Structure 1
Amino acid sequence: MWRSVASNALTLLIVLLAGVGIAVALAQNSYRAEGPSTEAVCLSVPRGATMTSVSGDLADKGMIKFPALMRVGADYEEKADRLKAGNFLIPPGASMQQIVDLVTRSGQSTCGSEINLRIGVATTTIRVRELDPATSEYQITADFTLGDPTPDAYDDLLSRGFARTRVTMAEGVTSWQVADSLNKAGFLTGAPVEVAPEGALAPGSYDVDMASDRAELQQRMREEQEAILTAAWAGRAEGLPLESAEEALILASIIEKETGVAEERPWVSSVFINRLNKGMRLQTDPTVIYGITKGEGVLGRGLYRSELARPTPFNTYTIDGLPPTPIANPGREAIEAAVNPAETDFLFFVADGTGGHVFARTLEEHNINVRRWRQIEQQRSQ
Structure 2
Amino acid sequence: MSERPPISPRSPRAALEPEQVPPPPKRSERARNPFVIVGNAVITLVLISMIGVGAAYVYGKQMLEASGPLKEDKIVNIPARAGKGDIAETLQREGVIDVNRWLFIGGVFALKASTELKPGEYEFRKNASLRDVIGTIVEGKVVQHAVTIPEGLTSEQIVARLSENEIFTGAVREMPREGTLLPETYKFPRGTTREQVIQRMQQSQKRVLAEIWERRNTDIPVKTPEQLVALASIVEKETGKADERSRVAAVFVNRLRQKMKLQSDPTIIYGLVGGKGTLGRPIKRSEIMQPSPYNTYVVDGLPPGPIANPGRASLEATANPARTRDLFFVADGTGGHSFTETYDQHQKNVAKLRTQEKAIQNDTVEPPDDPAPAAAAAPSDSNPSASATKPAAPAKRTRSTTTPGGQGAAQSATTPPVVQR
* Fold shared by both chains (TM-score > 0.5): yes
Which residue is 2:353 aligned to? 373
1:97 aligns with 2:131: yes
In the TM superposition, 1:1-382 aligns within 5 A as 2=31, 10=43, 13-14=46-47, 16-17=49-50, 19-21=52-54, 23-24=56-57, 26-28=59-61, 30-35=63-68, 37-43=70-76, 45=78, 50-56=83-89, 58=91, 63-67=96-100, 68-77=102-111, 79-80=113-114, 87-103=121-137, 105-106=139-140, 108-109=142-143, 168-182=148-162, 189-190=169-170, 193-208=173-188, 212-380=192-360, 382=365
Paired residue type of 1:222: Q
Q: Which deviations, in whole Å up to 9, do the C-alpha atoms of 1:189-214 show, x marking residues without a partner?
A: 54553332211112234445556544
Paired residue type of 2:131: Q
The CA RMSD over aligned residues, in Å, is 3.5
Q: 1:236 to 1:9 in 2, by over 3 A?
A: same
Secondary structure at the counterpart of residue 253 of structure 1 = helix
Q: Does the Cα contact within 8 Å between 2:216 and 2:319 map onto a contact in 1?
A: yes
Identity of aligned residues (%): 38
Q: Which deviations, in whole Å up to 9, do the C-alpha atoms of 1:301-347 show, x marking residues without a partner?
A: 33333332334322223333211111111111111111122233322
Higher relative strand content: 1
Structure 2: how far apart are the matches of 1:12 and 1:378?
A: 101
Q: Does the Cα contact within 8 Å between 1:253 and 1:329 map onto a contact in 2?
A: yes
TM-score (norm 2): 0.66
In the alignment, structure 1 segments of 5+ residues that lack a partner are 111-163
Structure 1: how far apart are the matches of 2:73 and 2:193?
A: 32
Q: Does the Cα contact within 8 Å between 1:237 and 1:340 map onto a contact in 2?
A: yes
State the number of aligned residues: 328
Q: Which deviations, in whole Å up to 9, do the C-alpha atoms of 1:105-164 show, x marking residues without a partner?
A: 548457xxxxxxxxxxxxxxxxxxxxxxxxxxxxxxxxxxxxxxxxxxxxxxxxxxxxx6
Q: Does the Cα contact within 8 Å between 2:230 and 2:302 map onto a contact in 1?
A: yes
Q: Does the Cα contact within 8 Å between 1:183 and 1:193 map onto a contact in 2?
A: no
In the alignment, structure 2 segments of 5+ residues that lack a partner are 1-29, 366-421
Structure 2: how far apart are the matches of 1:308 and 1:200?
A: 28
Report the alpha carbon displacement of residue 89 of structure 1 after superposing the two structures with TM: 3.0
Higher gyration radius (CA): 2
Paired residue type of 1:291: G
Secondary structure at the counterpart of residue 372 of structure 1 = helix
Secondary structure at the counterpart of residue 89 of structure 1 = strand
TM-score (norm 1): 0.72
Structure 1: how far apart are the matches of 2:93 and 2:190?
A: 28
Structure 1: how far apart are the matches of 2:334 and 2:342?
A: 22
Report the alpha carbon displacement of residue 235 of structure 1 after superposing the two structures with TM: 1.7
Report the alpha carbon displacement of residue 99 of structure 1 after superposing the two structures with TM: 1.0
Paired residue type of 1:13: V
Paired residue type of 1:356: G
